[in-house]
Structure 1
Amino acid sequence: MTTSPITAPRTKLRRSLGLWAIVGLGLGYMTPMTVFDTFGYVSDESGGVVPLAYTFALVVMLFTAISYGRMTRVYPSAGSAYTYASETIHPNAGFLVGWTALLDYLLLPLVNALLVRQYLESFFPDVPGWIWVVGYVALITMLNLWSISSTSRVNGTLVVFQVVLMAIFVLLAFGALQQGAGNGTAFSIEPLYHANVQIATVISAATIVCFSFIGFDAITMYTEEAKDANTVPKAIVLSLLIGGVIFFTAGWFAQSLFPVTEGFTEGTALPEIAYSVGGMLFQIFFVSAAIAAAAASSLSSHASVSRMIYVMGRNGDGPLARRLSYVHPRFRTPAVAVVLVGVVSLGAAIADLDFIFSMINFGALIAFTVVNLAVILHFAVRRREVKTGRQVLRNIVLPAIGVVLTVVLWLNVSADAMTYGLIWLAVGFVALLVMTRAFRRRLRMSVQEDRVIAEGTEGEDALLEDDRERLHAGE
């Protein structure tokens, strides 16, 4: 009996990621060292309270992280906000949310390639930048194509390297403060609050630094590669809390040491901070750690967005959708999606960093808002779990606070981010009209991987048995 590609048992993603592997991928995605790259700009925007801006953003993200953790248990598919919106609202809404989220997921690997290009150009100004981009993107793409386990191991090494260098920075900054530099002490409350602090400027700065937390949500993309159902919800909260502590600590010592940021180059404060604290040798190591941070973020962001494209393709129809949902039979990775992300990342050879940054937060904050809303719709509306005070708190109050806080941040994004983000959303709406033939045709949504995670190996065996039965029946 000849088996057609359509009826053959489908190759699935490999379940190989444990808790700390996924936490490491989330931290790698966050790129902890961005706190130094953006320090000058955030300090000016917040009025000299960088750690307070990070604290505000962390609180907003915690409410959203709780919602992500709950929804990933209900719909353990790699599609994240796309899946949750499709299931709780409507597949059309899910497509638009997924399309909007692609704005930040797809552009972050490009941003990291662009940062690496700029770092290497500063060391080797005579080498054309496109050479670094092509070589770097090819390496990241091959690692993601090879296996998610190898990606996780390399990412973990790079994350440890940057965290160690950040710890050395804290020690050097503490020593300098004790000798009278900056505020003259590491224990002054000035970095967190002073007389000139204004809530509006803190919110504006929090809108900027929330970019640093993008990564905890991307963890949901690894749901179909997690070893069990409890891994991803725990990893979401752990990566967010660990990342928040790192951002707060680094921001506190940087703000204490540099209460006034005059003289810093906007957007490139990291090398200047490193040189001021530890001299040329430390600057070399610190910039090396920044390159490692960008590489770690590239690995994890490339991996996560390829999983999102894979799920959207798996739920679509036609030859394009089938190609995007292709899983390599040997490596068990979404090969076509991985390569597609690599092709987009080549745009780092010509892209403008300010423009790309202005686009990213728009999509992320919309996705965060919808995930909080999905909790209310699923638990409070659909399942009517509002009979006790605890249920009302978990299913209405907490996610509603998350909705309000993320909307506040979204309304405070830059004018460029709002303009270009709305243009991107409009393009997605046109694509939706074409695919649904002006809403006369319903988009298909499938979360068949749920059964695998919910039932473990037995569930996976059941799916394989279902495949065999369909083959024998000639379906």
Structure 2
Amino acid sequence: MRTENAGLSRGLNSRHIRFIALGSAIGTGLFYGSSESIRAGGPAVLLAYLIGGAAVFLVLRSLGEMAVASPCAGSFGEYANRHLGPLAGFVTGWTYAFEMVIVAVADVTAIGVYMGFWFPDVPRWIWVLAAVLIVGALNLVSVKVFGELEFWLSLVKIVAIVAMIVVGIAVIAFGLGGGHAHIGLSNLWDDGGFFAGGADGFVISFAIVMFAFGGTEIIGVTAGEAQSPEKAIPGAVNSIPLRIILFYVLTLAVIMSITPWQQISDSGSPFVQIFAGVGLKSAAAVLNVVVLTAALSAINSDIFAAGRTMYGLAERGHGPSVMCRVSRNGVPWVTTLVMIGALLLAVLMNALVPGRIFLIISSIATFATVFVWMMILLTQLKARRSMSAEEAASLKFPAPFWPYGQIVTVLFMAAVMVLLALHESTRVALVVGVVWLALLTVVHLLTARRRQQRPAAAAPADTPAAVEEPAGISG
């Protein structure tokens, strides 16, 4: 592996980027975490996914505007640094890296749960360790290998979800299966009505719903390694609404129509539970393979996103310069190894608190995710306000509803933050989040003061300042 910074490899095409976005958005939050949101909000969780999805779409359009105009490694951390200042860039970048670590911990935790379907007596941490080592090793090969792997893993998920919807509709229409549960669309409004969880349950469900959408912002991170960002990014972003309706709303409507929402537990994936509950054991086993694939795909995307974000931070002097080192294949191997090391904490946590870890981790991830989304919106607002009328008119992919849509979405994200404090099980996330942001602020102020006191010196040959990008980019 080379020690000099030769630049990232532009090995991702439009097909890769679309499916990387799918891989991060359709993962543990849907296949496992949806059981928590259903239990909180009842059938009304469908409306929560639509509202949350609309907000996320506006976040991604705002990010897409900046990513198409100025594609770079680190993406929104760099944009925040450029438009809101070094502290905002530092905090945004490292919070996103933190988010990806936490989300990946949730994903590998889900793998331990899924494997319990076949091996209930084997400790979870064994499966967690295997997943971390396998996916981590694949991320060290090359970005093209990563892109292809993510394409096929995501394709499995998409085909499986579509098949599950088709089979689920057949179960509803023809009463297939031998389970005891009542089957039919009336499950969505019987037993307490559509808002069966009450106003409180509906509102609280947003804390888990927003976690499910976490990772979609990886679209911006891929811009630094996209072959044609001006084509790939808009296509990936504009596919979000259809994805939300198909993969979240329609899927969960089928699930709750087959199994009354009160009978969905958090002991496994609701996707597997519904078919096991109606007597289709073989379908349940196949779906368990699918949800395992989905979790591996999400971990794959998480490692990629965190590694590239830390690489971008190091390029701007917001992280150790060693994080700029890349392999001969254009992979930032140091940051990938850091991510793998961080994920080994998931092994320890699954060994110590296997029963409570997922809700804690998903709540912390929600805080980090929503904070990053707020910073993306604030950055885009500042960037657009600083443009002349001619510059704004020349944007290739302008965000819609500017500026009122962005302002309303910022307020919505702030409300989700407040929600975390209202529920005892998620309150720890707000505490951890506030401590994290305070710690980052202190670290940035100390390092900034140290840089000011240090006499100017020539940059060493292996630092980002000495390298001209994109001269080292390979295809």
Q: Per the alignment, in what secondary structure is the counterpart of residue 43 of structure 2? A: coil
RMSD over equivalenced CA pairs, Å? 3.3
User: What is the aligned counterpart of 1:356 among 350, 354, 361?
Assistant: 361
- Residue 153 of structure 1 is matched in structure 2 by 148
**How far apart, CA to CA, are the structure 1 residues paired with 2:98 and 2:308?**
15
Question: 2:378 — aligned with what?
Answer: 373
- How far residue 312 of structure 1 moved from its aligned partner, in angstroms, is 0.7
1-structure distance, mates of 2:267, 2:125: 24
2:314 matched residue in structure 1: 313
CA spacing shift, 1:384–1:436, aligned 2, 3 Å: farther
- Take 1:425 and 1:196, find their aligned partners in 2: how far apart are those partners? 36
Which residue number in structure 2 is paired with residue 420 of structure 1? Answer: 432
Q: CA deviation at 1:399?
A: 1.9
- CA drift of 1:43 comes to 2.0
| CA–CA distance in structure 1, aligned partners of residues 390 and 377 of structure 2 | 16
Corresponding residue number in structure 2 for 1:437: 449
Distance 1:43 1:134 in 2: 29
Please say if 1:405 is aligned against 2:432. no
Q: CA deviation at 1:439?
A: 9.2
- 1:34 is displaced (CA, Å) by 4.0
Corresponding residue number in structure 1 for 2:342: 344
Residue 433 of structure 1: CA displacement? 2.4
Q: What does residue 52 of structure 1 align with?
A: 47
Deviates more, 1:424-433 or 1:32-41: 32-41
Tell me the distance in 1 between the aligned counterparts of 2:402 and 2:340.
39
State the partner residue of 1:164: 159
Deviation at 1:354, TM superposition (A): 2.6
Shift of 1:27: 0.8
Q: Distance in 1 between matches of 2:169 and 2:117?
A: 29
Give the match for residue 119 of structure 1. Answer: 114
Q: 1:140-172 CA deviation, whole Å, 9 max, x = no partner? A: 111111011111212222222222222232223
Over residues 215-269 of structure 1, what are the superposed CA-to-partner deviations in whole Å (9 max), with x where a residue is unaligned? 2201211111101131223323324642442111101111222334236246653
Counting matched residue pairs gives 441
Cα distance in 1 for partners of 2:264, 2:235 equals 42
AA in 1 matched with 2:374: T
Deviates more, 1:351-360 or 1:341-350: 351-360
Ranges in structure 1 where 5+ consecutive residues have no aligned partner: 453-459, 465-475
Q: Is the 8 A contact 1:306 1:334 kept in 2?
A: yes
Residue 291 (structure 2) pairs with residue 290 (structure 1)? yes
Deviations 1:77-114 (A, max 9, x none): 12132112101110111111222222211222222222
> Is 2:8 the counterpart of 1:13?
yes
- Relative distance call for 1:424 and 1:279 in structure 2 (3 A) is same
What CA distance in whole angstroms lies between the structure 1 residues aligned with 2:332 and 2:392?
Answer: 43
Once residues 187 and 117 of structure 2 are traced to their aligned partners in structure 1, the CA distance between those partners, rounded to angstroms, is 36
2:263 equivalent to 1:262: yes
Check conservation: 2:97, 2:305, Cα contact below 8 A: no
Flag the 1:218–1:340 CA change in 2: closer, same or farther, 3 A.
same
| Percent of residue pairs identical | 20
What is the CA–CA distance in structure 2 between the aligned matches of 1:71 and 1:59, rounded to whole Å?
19
Q: Which amino acid aligns with 1:25?
A: I
Q: CA shift at 1:332, angstroms?
A: 0.8
The answer as to whether partners of 2:84 and 2:379 remain within 8 angstroms in 1 is yes
- The structure-2 alpha-carbon separation of the partners of 1:155 and 1:15, relative to structure 1 and needing over 3 Å to count, comes to same
- 2:131 corresponds, among 122, 133, 136, to 136
**3-state SS of 1:47 partner:** helix
Q: 1:12 to 1:393 in 2, by over 3 A?
A: closer
Q: CA deviation at 1:189?
A: 7.1
Structure 2 contact 16–147 (Cα < 8 Å) conserved? yes
Contact 2:208 2:362 in 1 (8 A): no
Task: Give the equivalent residue in structure 1 for 2:239.
Answer: 238
- CA 1:77–1:32: 2 relative to 1, 3 Å: same
Write out aligned runs for 1:29-40 (5 A).
29-32=24-27, 34-40=29-35
Distance 1:233 1:11 in 2: 28
Check 1:49–1:425 CA distance in 2 against 1; reply closer, same or farther (3 A cut).
same
Residue 69 of structure 2: aligned partner: 74
Q: Which amino acid aligns with 1:405?
A: F
Report if aligned partners of 2:207, 2:363 keep a CA contact under 8 Å in 1. Answer: no
1:41 corresponds in structure 2 to 36
Aligned equivalent of 1:324 = 323
Separation of aligned partners in 1, 2:306 and 2:113: 23
Tell me how far apart the structure 2 counterparts of residues 151 and 392 of structure 1 sit (CA, whole Å): 29
TM-score, length-scaled by structure 2: 0.83
Give the TM-score taking structure 1 as reference length. Answer: 0.83
Aligned residues of 1:38 and 1:267 also touching (Cα < 8 A)? no
Alignment of 1:203-242 (within 5 A): 203-230=203-230, 231-239=232-240, 241-242=242-243
Matched with 2:96 is 101
Deviations 1:282-316 (A, max 9, x none): 11111111110011111111111100011111221
CA-to-aligned-CA distance 1:36-91 (integer Å, 9 cap, x gap): 42343222322322321211111111111110111112331121321121011101
Q: Which runs of 5+ in 2 are unaligned?
A: 350-356, 421-425, 457-462
Higher mean alpha-carbon deviation, 227-236 vs 209-218, is at: 227-236
User: Do the aligned residues in 2 keep the contact of 1:32 with 1:247 (CA within 8 Å)?
Assistant: no
Aligned to 2:423: none
Equivalent residues of 1:108, 1:301 under 8 A apart: yes
Alpha-carbon distance between aligned partners in 2 of 1:36 and 1:110, rounded to the nearest angstrom: 15
Q: How many Å separate the matches in 2 of 1:356 and 1:188?
A: 31
| Whole-Å separation in 1 of the counterparts to 2:165 and 2:244 | 15
Return the alpha-carbon distance in structure 2 between the equivalents of residues 275 and 327 of structure 1.
47
Give the stretch that moved more between structures: 370-379 or 173-182.
173-182
How many angstroms does 1:394 deviate by? 4.8
Aligned 8 A contact 1:72 1:233 in 2: no
